[in-house]
Structures are given as structure tokens and as C-alpha cells.
Structure 1
Amino acid sequence: MGPVVRCPLVMQGVLAVVAAMLVLAGCSSQDAEKKQAAKAAEPAAVMVQAKAPVVADVPVYGEYVGRLAAKENVEIRARVEGYLKERNFTEGSIVKKGELLFVIEPRQYQENLQKAKAELERQNALFAKAKVDLSRFEQLYKQQAVSRDEYDTRLTNQRELAANVDSAKAAVEATERDLGYTRITAPITGRIGKTFVNVGNLVGKGDNTLLAEISSTDPMYADFSISERDYLEFSRIRQANGDKDREFPLTLVLADDSVYPHQGQADMADRALDAKTGTLAVRGIFPNPQGILKPGQFAKIRALLEYRKGAMLVPQRAIVDVQGSKSVYVVGGDGKIEARAVTLGGSKDGSFVIDSGLKPTDLVVVEGVSKIRPGVKAKIVAAPDAAVAATPAAAPAAPAAAPAKP
């Protein structure tokens, strides 16, 4: 009877164990499915190239946007009224100082000069007769043959005629000057622009009509502005070097990113900073023997600030600019992207010098910057050495184009 009673109890225990195992197996399967689903939902890592900053001794440049201007710019205006008779130059050509440019119809002024000369001859004749009369009356007065009043009258007449002669001489000089104004010559050597008045038009009426403009070509000015911070940096460098008269050579980068072959120098700094913009106006001067530079051209002016030892360099493409704030993307220890605010200290051959915000061991994203954002998982792929190293200069004598110093 005993075994018959125990069999149902054993079977119940076995069934309970089997049921528990089935429940545990189901839970494990659900957990594995959830983990697989979560892993599938996690975004894939973005492929980027990253490398530590290059540490090197480099020259540091400041770069500024400027505009070229002629050293001399002269407006050619009609100073007398008349019809424009001749134009003796080709528009856009080089003219020499003293070269005849325009002729205004001179006939009226030639006639005025003849009249003025005739009047001068008449006044000279009257004055000569008055001198003879005064001399005769002076002898008669000494002999008491004429009265004092008669003598004084002759003396006054002689003085009036002398004044008339002076006035006639001045009139001759004025008409000669006006006649000279009908022949307009170049006041400087330079390139003359287009003509604003055609031959046959009346010029000089009411005001001095603008006929043309001449601009000198060699040398050329480059006007630009530097920030107050850069001005203080220039001053600090000069004082630190004990060379207050040190020249800062300037390099010109043209609109096509080519480097102008002739080096320039700072010619003038304004007396005060502009309170509205916080900048200081500076003027550079560049030789222009081939006439490549023209007034009004925009260009980048690059100034050598200093040779910095142990500078950290990152390529231009690694810099992120958001409303004037500069930053770089760094791959953190957990493989996620971090944004690091940095301070730039100049540029060198397409790379920026980092003054603060980075460590030499940080891995800076140099390729794929546009595909990432802070917090994104990144996977670093091999980057060639040239990815971070400075690009070669465009010409041996001058640095290649580089981004502006903020």
C-alpha cells in the first residue's frame, strides 16, 4: 500500500520541476530577444579619420581682408568753359606726366588774350606820357610857373596810370592762364580711365566738369583693418623682442588664391582705433612693376607675427565655426564625439595654431566632420600623415593661402 501512495507525490514534484524549467527557458529567450532588438536599434558608429595635433616650431601669420588703392588718384577737370575739341589718348592706357590729354576750343581765350595785351599797351603808352608830363610839370613847379594843385593833379594821374598798367598786366596773365587751361595735360604718370565727356560737348559750365581720372600704378596701397587683440599682440611681440622698430613683412594673396610675388611692408597705422568696430586701420605698400595690381581689387593681406615653438597645429577643415565660436571634434575615451572649444593663434600653410582648448594627445577629427555631432559613436579609420600636416606653400618665397586669423 505504501508505494501506491508515494507515486502520485513523486510525479507531481517532477512535473513542477519541468514547469519551472520551461518558465525559466521562456524568460531567457525573451531577454535574449530584447538584447538583440536593443543592439539592432543602436546607431552604427560613424567612420572618421582622427589624429593628434602636429606639434612643431612654425611661423605664425595673421590674415586680413583688404582692398587695393592707388598711391595717387587724380581727377582731370575742365577749369574753363568751352567745347571739347580734342581727346589725345586711348582710354585705359598709361599716360606720362605732362602728356597732352584734352584740348578745349581756344579761340575765345586767344581773342581775350589779344584784347588784354592791347589794353596793356594802351595803358603803358598813357603811363609813359604821364611820366613825361609829370617830369615837365615838376620843373615848372620848381620855377613856380604852375601851381601846387596843377602839379599834384599830374602826380595823381601818373600814379593812377601806373596802377592801370599793373591791372592790365594782371589781366594779361589771367587770360594767358585761361588759354593755358584749354590744353589739359597729365599731372602724374599713371593709367587713365574712361572719358566721361565726349568730344564736341560743352564742358566747364557751372562747375569744373570731370573729364577723366588717372591713377598711379607703382607702388600700390593695400588698406585693411586689424582687431584690437591683434594690435596688442603686435605690440607685445615687438616689445618682447626688444625691437620696437621691427618691420612686419606683408604677403598679398589674390582673389584666385595665388600669392603675389612681391613682398610688401606696413606703411601706416591710423592714429586711433575705430570705436564702432574695435579695429585699427592699417595701410600696406606693395611694388607693382608689372601693373598686375589695380585699384579696387580685394585681396588677403598676410602678416608674419612670430615664430612659435612647440605650437599645436590642426588642419583648417577640422575647425568648426558656429557664429564666430571656434571648436573641434575630439574622439573621447568611450569612442564618442566631444566638442572642444578652442582659441586660434594664427595660421600656417593651411593649418591653424591652437592656443588653448586641446592637449597634444587628443584625437582630433580631421575627415568626416560634417557627418558627426557631439555624443555620436565614432570609429576611427587610418588617416594619412598629410591629413593633419600643413599643406605645401604655393610659392617658395611666400606662404600659401591660409584662413584668416580670428
Structure 2
Amino acid sequence: MMSPRFRSVSPTLVFLFSILLMLWSCGGDEDAKKAAAPEKAPPAVPIRAMAPVSRDVPVFGEFVGRTDAKETVEIRARVEGFLKTRLFEEGSLVKAGDVLFEIESRQYDEAMRRAQADLDRQQALLAKAATDLSRFEALFKQQAISRDEYDTKVTSQKDMAAQADRAKAELETARRDLSYTKVVAPISGRIGKSLVKPGTLVGKGENTLLAEISSTDPIYVDFNISEREYLLLVKDMVEAQKQGKSSGKAELTLILADDSIYPHTGEAEMADRAVDSKTGTLPVRASFPNPDGILKPGQFAKVRALVDTLAGVLCVPRRAVVDVQGVKTLYVVGPDGTVEAKSVTLGPVVEDMVAVLKGLAPTDAVIVDGVQKIRPGIKVAAQSETQAAGQPAAAKPAGN
């Protein structure tokens, strides 16, 4: 027989135990339902893809060069004297024939007057000798004088003629020396700074350098091309001649030190006679118009020239390329919508497109938008993107 205390507690314990048992069984059912329910696949990432475009891609080479004037002339003192004045503004443009310097001319004025007086005297003596010879010739024909006397007058007349010629030459020398006291510009161009100040004795023992003038238009750019590039250019010229096409001079583009494009195109002026055996390059000179005087001798610049054309190469938008530690990669959509990564070798850049030389097939669907939010192996929902396949106007060198 149960005690009264046990009979009063048992119903309560039974009730609590029943509640706990019910809660446990409910939790177990929920866990079982969750375990039995299948996992939902993540939604496919929306992207845009396109097939690579096949086109002919021009390959441009860039060559570092230095500008140089077509003509550079040294202005030197050709006679001795004190520099009297400078008649130009340093760094300005001058024209051929402009007077640049004046040298003290007093001694040359005097020398020219003396030479003129000597010439006048010799011409007077020559005139008298000619008159005497004419008279003695008549007397000799009449046999009034001897042969010796006649020959003496002939010799005297020839001597006076020679003296007159000498005096004339000395006058020309004096006149020329006087003209050298005015130093004129032999060519048109830009003159540099004056190397000698007024009051300085110049021309004593040597032709003192006074200044330099460089022509401004056109201007040369000297650069070197590799032997391989030279052979490519020659082959293109030969092929053009075989096809009856003009193989005229190719247009060249000049890129200045601030990476701006010079507004005028140039053309190759000449190539050196031989390839440099030490560097394997061929020196080339190009000529560029310089009507505004922007280019000056001694500037560094890059010459861009068409060296080859890649026929039918595959191209994709530049934004599709992923660069991971120098490795160029393209993401493509597989047949089942899975992203695949392809390592590629890139070529020249053409406007907003880049040529793909290796690693890409014409049938690949290249992801061009959304590359930042995808990774290889995930599923994507691809939308096609049309891309204009027009011929490019220019291409940058490979690797840029």
C-alpha cells in the first residue's frame, strides 16, 4: 500500500514527463523533415558572353628616336676685329640674309680705299702702255724702230695688264673682307644664344664661333629598327610590287614625351647603308613637317610605324581579359553553362578590342561582362552580346 506522500506527488511527475516526451518527439520530427528535404541549388549568375571576332589586325611598332634639324649652321667670324653689335634676339626665328652681328669695319674700309686707288693707278698705267704699244707698232711696221724696242713695249703693256688684274683682285679681296664685317644668316631658321658678347675681339687666329642656326621645317627624327622588322617591311614592299600596287612611303606617327600624338604624320626619308653588327638594328631617318615649330632638335620621341598585319586573328573586348599576376585569362561558358578559365596569349590592342594569338577557339563563348562576380566552376546564365566587326583604324604595339 502506497504512502500518502507518494500518492500526492506521482500525478504531477507523470504530467511533466508526458510534456517533455511530447516536446522531444516534435523536435525530432522537425529535424527528420529538414534532413529529408533536398538542398536548393544557388541561382545562376547572369552574365554577357560573345563569340570572338575574326579580323585583320595591323601590328604597329614603336621606336625611340631623337629629333634633329635638317640643317644646322655655325655662324663664325671670318675676319678679325672687335665685335661691334648683336642685331638679333636670342632664340628667335631669322631669315637668310638677315644681319646678325657687326664687326668694327674701319680698317677694312681703309683697305678697300687703298685697293681702289691702286687699281685706278694700274689701269692708268695700262692705258698709257697700250697707247705706247700702238704707236711703237706703227713705227715698227715702218721700220723706224728696232725689233727690241718694239718687244720692250709689248712686254711693258703685258706687265701693266697683269698689275691691273692684281690690283683688281686685291680690291675684290678688300671688298669681301669689308662685307664679312656684317655677319649674315646663311639659312632661315631658329638661332640660339649668342656665344660672344659685343666688345670681344673675334677672328684672331681662328674663325670665332658666334652662334648657331637650325632649320625648323621639316625636322628629322633618327631611330633604329630591328633586322626582323626591316625584313618584314622589305617583304611587304616586294609583295606590293608583284601585285602591281604602289609601295610608296608609309605614314609614320610621332608620339611626344608627354604621350601626346603629334598632329602631322611623317615618312621615312632614308635608311643607312648597313645593319649595325653590334646591335642588329638599322638606322632610319624620318622627316616630319614642323610648320608651328613645336619640334626642336634634341627631343626624344617615339615613332610608330606599321610593321605587319595579322590576318584573320580572333579578337575580344579588352574588358573581358582577367590579369592574375601577369597571367592573361579569359572566362568562357561551357556547354552546360559552367564557367571555364583559359590562359591566353594576347597580341596588339585595336581600339577597345585585343587580339588573342593563342588559347582561344572561334566557337568559345567569351564572358565580356560580369567577370568580377564569377569564378571557374560556377553556373551562369549567359546572354549574347553583338559586337561590331568593323576594320580598326589603328592598333597599339603588342604587350601594351
With normalisation by structure 2, the TM-score equals 0.69
User: Secondary structure of 2:210's partner?
Assistant: strand
Mapping of 1:1-400 within 5 angstroms?
A: 56-241=55-240, 242=243, 243=245, 245-312=247-314, 328=327, 348=350, 358-360=359-361
Per-residue deviation at 1:319?
9.6
- Counterpart CA distance in 2 for 1:162 and 1:363 is 100
User: Secondary structure of 2:75's partner?
Assistant: strand
- Counterpart CA distance in 2 for 1:187 and 1:213 is 11
Superimposed CA distance per residue, residues 306-363 of structure 1 (whole angstroms, 9 cap, x where no aligned partner): 5433335697x9999xxxxxx855699xx9x9998x6x876645987565x6445999
Superimposed CA distance per residue, residues 22-80 of structure 1 (whole angstroms, 9 cap, x where no aligned partner): xxxxxxxxxxxxxxxxxxxxxxxxxxxxx999864433211111111111211111111
**1:339–1:308 distance in 2 versus 1, CA, 3 Å:** closer
Q: Is the CA contact (8 Å cut-off) linking 2:343 and 2:359 kept in structure 1?
A: no
- Counterpart CA distance in 2 for 1:319 and 1:251 is 30
Tell me the C-alpha RMSD between the 2 structures.
3.9
Name which of structure 1's ranges 141-150 and 87-96 shifts more when overlaid on structure 2: 141-150
Superimposed CA distance per residue, residues 138-189 of structure 1 (whole angstroms, 9 cap, x where no aligned partner): 2222233322112111111110110110111111111111111111111111
Q: Is the CA contact (8 Å cut-off) linking 2:59 and 2:397 kept in structure 1?
A: no
Number of the residue aligned with 1:31: none
Which amino acid is 1:161 matched to?
A: M
- Counterpart CA distance in 2 for 1:237 and 1:174 is 58
- Counterpart CA distance in 1 for 2:134 and 2:221 is 70
**1:221–1:204 distance in 2 versus 1, CA, 3 Å:** same
Which amino acid is 1:296 matched to?
A: G
**1:289–1:404 distance in 2 versus 1, CA, 3 Å:** farther
Per-residue deviation at 1:209?
1.2
Number of the residue aligned with 2:40: none
- Counterpart CA distance in 2 for 1:303 and 1:205 is 50
- Counterpart CA distance in 1 for 2:187 and 2:361 is 58
- Counterpart CA distance in 2 for 1:404 and 1:204 is 56
**1:153–1:319 distance in 2 versus 1, CA, 3 Å:** farther
User: Secondary structure of 1:196's partner?
Assistant: coil
Structure (1 or 2) with the larger CA radius of gyration: 2
- Counterpart CA distance in 2 for 1:319 and 1:187 is 58
Which amino acid is 2:305 matched to?
A: A
Which amino acid is 2:148 matched to?
A: D
Superimposed CA distance per residue, residues 93-135 of structure 1 (whole angstroms, 9 cap, x where no aligned partner): 0111211111111111111100111110111111111112212
Count of matched residue positions in the alignment of Structure 1 and Structure 2: 320
- Counterpart CA distance in 1 for 2:151 and 2:98 is 55
Q: Is the CA contact (8 Å cut-off) linking 1:88 and 1:100 kept in structure 2?
A: yes
Superimposed CA distance per residue, residues 212-265 of structure 1 (whole angstroms, 9 cap, x where no aligned partner): 111111111111111000011112223334336233110111000011111111
Q: Which 4+ residue blocks in structure 1 deviate beyond 4 angstroms? A: 51-56, 312-315, 317-320, 327-332, 337-340, 344-355, 357-364, 379-382, 397-400, 402-406
Which amino acid is 2:286 matched to?
A: G
Q: Is the CA contact (8 Å cut-off) linking 2:275 and 2:282 kept in structure 1?
A: yes
**1:95–1:162 distance in 2 versus 1, CA, 3 Å:** same
Which amino acid is 2:142 matched to?
A: Q
Q: Is the CA contact (8 Å cut-off) linking 2:60 and 2:397 kept in structure 1?
A: no
**1:189–1:147 distance in 2 versus 1, CA, 3 Å:** same
- Counterpart CA distance in 1 for 2:238 and 2:70 is 31
Which amino acid is 1:179 matched to?
A: L
- Counterpart CA distance in 2 for 1:117 and 1:404 is 74
Which amino acid is 1:235 matched to?
A: V
Which amino acid is 1:286 matched to?
A: F
- Counterpart CA distance in 1 for 2:199 and 2:377 is 75
Which amino acid is 1:88 matched to?
A: L
Q: Is the CA contact (8 Å cut-off) linking 2:224 and 2:281 kept in structure 1?
A: yes
Q: Please, which runs of 5 or more residues in structure 1 have no aligned partner?
A: 1-50, 321-326, 365-378, 383-396
- Counterpart CA distance in 1 for 2:229 and 2:195 is 43
Number of the residue aligned with 2:27: none
Q: Is the CA contact (8 Å cut-off) linking 1:196 and 1:212 kept in structure 2?
A: yes
Number of the residue aligned with 1:33: none
- Counterpart CA distance in 2 for 1:264 and 1:79 is 38
Q: Please, which runs of 5 or more residues in structure 2 have no aligned partner?
A: 1-49, 332-338, 367-374, 379-391
With normalisation by structure 1, the TM-score equals 0.68
Q: Is the CA contact (8 Å cut-off) linking 2:79 and 2:181 kept in structure 1?
A: yes
- Counterpart CA distance in 2 for 1:155 and 1:97 is 49
User: Secondary structure of 1:207's partner?
Assistant: coil
**1:53–1:187 distance in 2 versus 1, CA, 3 Å:** farther
- Counterpart CA distance in 2 for 1:222 and 1:196 is 27
Q: Is the CA contact (8 Å cut-off) linking 2:58 and 2:394 kept in structure 1?
A: no
